[in-house]
């Protein structure tokens, strides 16, 4: 139980003043990103159904449903808010596919309301430490092997953040994480099939994390050896290949959360490279969709399995498109950009896009693994017998090729502009400043009314 104790001690003993400025900046960008994607995603497929479902259930008026307003039991509010935050797949991420922010941020807001208030400093610390915990527990592609990293790992971030905001003692926090371990799960088949379960898994991670913290506070216990035990996390999910030092080493000095990804385009992380490649070629070579004879895209095997399959239009077209290299490349080529509106159902069903996708071939190349998770080789052939090549090792928004602060702000603005029901302009303009000055807020709940239409 050495690893468990080190992590719990780190969560309970760390002061915000001891955390360097760079991780704090990253987490503030994550909070702003998630607020933006929640605002933009509030009316996306499945979100209204989930909101109606939980509002009809009634119950204690504990935590706010963002955008729409109204209060319901905290564990239900956080589910709805997390589903909305993930709905457009424009939130933060981390290789090989975990989405932490869409769980830890809504959970922290719900916990703050449940607790009767929380300072901005304490909120920021709780979100940061929960994010760092999940980032350290995040596994490799081969270890997950089809498990959804969000379902497996984000629940720890949510439980930790909720536990800190609810002021659990170290023993209770330990049990909250131990209970969270028993709620880990979820499959990437949801993504491949283009089902709404992708965003529902996000909601479950948040709901389970908050519930586990509440249970632990009530005295419910979990397995103390939940990481290193014979049937613990390291064995069941880590396949007995985890070095505990990678999880607990240099706590407070090395920040795994710095591997956070912020997306330039509103689709799966491993579609960012192909999308960027075709847009770069268009700008450099003045390519036109009507001149294209064939496009060959080579990606690492992991990316191919997730987003390289032939495009299929199912019952939830946005999810089909978000997880399709064929669609992302065809749409960007035809329209000259990749925006939230390009993933609306009418845009996806455009016959010109459907026709262009037939010219795009995607293949797996194991050699690309050596160049990185987002490596892409793209070959474009034209009817004029021209041949263009584009190679990308690090997609935009990934560590090594980060977004600028202006691009983070532009991301938020794009989300606000996409909302069907607009926020009051004054509210929309104040949110970025409130987030980046979050330490000055006496009560984080003061931010919530700015996020309501």
pLDDT for 385-411, tens place per residue?
999 999 999 999 999 999 999 999 999
| pLDDT at 170 (0 to 100) | 98
Q: What one-character-per-residue DSSP string does 333-352 give? A: HHHSS--GGGGSHHHHT-HH
What's the fold here for domain 269-392? 60s Ribosomal Protein L30; Chain: A; (3.30.1330)
Task: DSSP letter for 403, please.
Answer: P
Q: The tokens 């993504």 sit on which residue?
A: 191
| pLDDT at 422 (0 to 100) | 87
Beta-bridged to residue 294, according to DSSP, are: 381
pTM of the model: 0.97
- At 428, list the tokens: 């929309």
pLDDT in tens, 38-96: 999 999 999 999 999 999 999 999 999 999 999 999 999 999 999 999 999 999 999 99
| pLDDT at 152 (0 to 100) | 98
Across the beta sheet with 376-382, the strand order is 360-364, 292-299, 376-382, 387-392
Q: Is 392 helix (H, G, I), strand (E, B) or coil?
A: strand
Q: Report the 10 Å Cβ neighbour count for 394.
A: 19
Low-confidence ranges of the chain (pLDDT < 70): none
Q: For the chain, which residues make up each domain, given as ranges?
A: 2-262+404-451, 269-392
Residues 6+ apart with CB under 8 A from 307: 268, 270, 271, 299, 323, 324, 325
Give the integer Cα–Cα distance in Å for 46 and 48.
6
| pLDDT at 75 (0 to 100) | 98
| pLDDT at 421 (0 to 100) | 86
Q: Give the CATH number of domain 2-262+404-451.
A: 1.10.4100.10
Q: Is 19 helix (H, G, I), strand (E, B) or coil?
A: coil
| pLDDT at 337 (0 to 100) | 98
| pLDDT at 253 (0 to 100) | 97
Give the integer Cα–Cα distance in Å for 285 and 387.
11
Count of residues for the chain?
A: 453
Beta-bridged to residue 110, according to DSSP, are: none
Q: Is 297 helix (H, G, I), strand (E, B) or coil?
A: strand
Give the integer Cα–Cα distance in Å for 357 and 354.
5
């Amino acid at each position: 139980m050495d690893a468990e104790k080190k992590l719990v001690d780190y969560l309970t003993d760390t002061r915000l003043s001891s955390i360097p400025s760079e991780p704090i900046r990253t987490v503030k960008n994550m909070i702003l990103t998630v607020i933006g994607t929640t605002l933009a995603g509030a009316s996306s497929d499945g979100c209204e159904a989930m909101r109606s479902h939980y509002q009809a259930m009634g119950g204690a008026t504990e935590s706010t449903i963002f955008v729409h307003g109204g209060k319901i039991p905290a564990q239900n509010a956080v589910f709805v808010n997390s589903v909305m935050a993930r709905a457009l797949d424009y939130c933060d991420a981390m290789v090989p596919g975990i989405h932490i922010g869409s769980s830890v941020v809504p959970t922290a807001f719900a916990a703050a309301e449940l607790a009767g208030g929380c300072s901005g400093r304490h909120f920021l610390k709780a979100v940061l430490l929960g994010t760092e915990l999940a980032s350290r527990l995040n596994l490799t592609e081969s270890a997950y092997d089809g498990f959804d990293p969000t379902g497996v790992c984000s629940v720890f971030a949510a439980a930790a953040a909720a536990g800190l905001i609810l002021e659990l003692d170290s023993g209770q926090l330990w049990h909250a994480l131990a209970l969270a371990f028993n709620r880990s799960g979820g499959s990437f088949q949801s993504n491949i099939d283009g089902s709404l379960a992708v965003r529902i898994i996000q909601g479950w991670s948040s709901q389970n994390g908050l519930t586990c913290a509440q249970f632990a506070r009530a005295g419910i216990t979990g397995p103390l050896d939940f990481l290193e035990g014979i049937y613990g996390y390291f064995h069941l999910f880590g396949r007995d290949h985890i070095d505990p030092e990678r999880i607990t080493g240099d706590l407070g000095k090395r920040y795994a959360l710095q591997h956070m990804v912020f997306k330039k385009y509103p689709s799966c992380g491993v579609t960012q490279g192909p999308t960027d490649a075709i847009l770069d070629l268009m700008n450099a070579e003045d390519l036109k969709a009507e001149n294209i004879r064939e496009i060959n895209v080579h990606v690492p095997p992991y990316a191919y399995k997730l987003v390289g399959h032939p495009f299929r239009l199912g019952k939830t077209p946005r999810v089909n498109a978000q997880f399709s290299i064929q669609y992302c490349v065809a749409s960007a080529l035809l329209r000259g950009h990749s925006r939230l509106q390009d993933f609306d159902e009418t845009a996806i069903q455009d016959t010109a896009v459907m026709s262009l996708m037939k010219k795009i071939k995607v293949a797996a190349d194991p050699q690309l693994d050596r160049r990185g998770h987002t490596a892409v080789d793209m070959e474009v052939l034209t009817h004029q017998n021209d041949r263009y090549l584009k190679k990308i090792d690090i997609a935009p928004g990934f560590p090594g090729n980060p977004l600028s602060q202006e691009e983070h702000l532009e991301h938020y603005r794009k989300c606000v502009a996409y909302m069907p029901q607009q926020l009051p302009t004054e509210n929309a303009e104040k949110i970025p400043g409130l987030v980046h000055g979050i330490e000055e807020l006496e009560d984080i709940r003061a931010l919530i009314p700015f996020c309501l239409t």
